[in-house]
A and B are shown apart, each in its own frame.
Chain A
Amino acid sequence: MMSWVKSASLNSEDVFDENADELHLQSKEWTSNMKKRVMDGYVDGVDAGEEASLQVGFNLGFKEGAAQTVAVGRLRGILGAVWCWCQIQHPERPVPTPVTDLLQRVTEHETQIMEDIRKALENPPPSVSDVSESMDALDVEQEDPSLCRDGGSGPCCNKRDENMDVDNPHQNQKIRSGSTSCSSSPGEGLHLLLQCCMDLASELGLPQELMDHIHELGNIDRMSSMF
Chain B
Amino acid sequence: MEMPGVHPADDLFDSIILADEKFRGEGYQEGFEKGTRRGLQDGRRHGASHGAKLSSEISFYYGFAVTWKCLLQQSTDDKSRKRVKALDAVLALIQNCNLDDPQSEKLQDETEKLRAKFRQVCSMLNIPTDFRDYIKVAEGTSF
Contact = CB atoms under 8 A, between A and B. Distances in A.
A74 B26 CA distance: 51
Contacts of A14: 8
A77 B32 contact: no
Interface residues of A, number: 84
Interface in B42-56: 42-56
Interface string B1-44: 00000101000100110011001111111111111111111111
A11 B54 CA distance: 56
A67 interface: yes
A4 B58 CA distance: 53
Which of the four size classes fits the interface of chain B? 35 or more
A8 B23 contact: yes
A54 interface: yes
Q: SS class of chain B's interface: helix, strand, loop or mixed?
A: helix
Interface string A15-46: 10000000000000000011101111111111
B55 A70 contact: yes
Interface in A72-104: 72-85, 87-88
A49 to B, nearest CB: 3
Contacts of A118: 49
B52 A120 contact: no
A75 B56 CA distance: 10
A42 B23 contact: no
Q: SS class of chain A's interface: helix, strand, loop or mixed?
A: helix
A82 B90 CA distance: 17
A223 interface: no
Nearest to A87: B128
A146 B12 CA distance: 53
Interface of A: 1, 4-5, 8, 11-12, 14-15, 33-35, 37-85, 87-88, 107, 110, 113-114, 117-118, 120-121, 124-125, 131, 134-135, 137-138, 164, 167, 206-207, 209-210, 213
Interface of B: 6, 8, 12, 15-16, 19-20, 23-68, 70-71, 73, 99-103, 125-128, 131, 134-135, 138
8 A-B pairs with least C-beta separation:
A77-B63, A45-B31, A49-B35, A57-B43, A73-B59, A61-B47, A41-B27, A65-B51
7 contacts: A41-B28, A49-B33, A50-B35, A65-B48, A73-B58, A74-B59, A114-B52
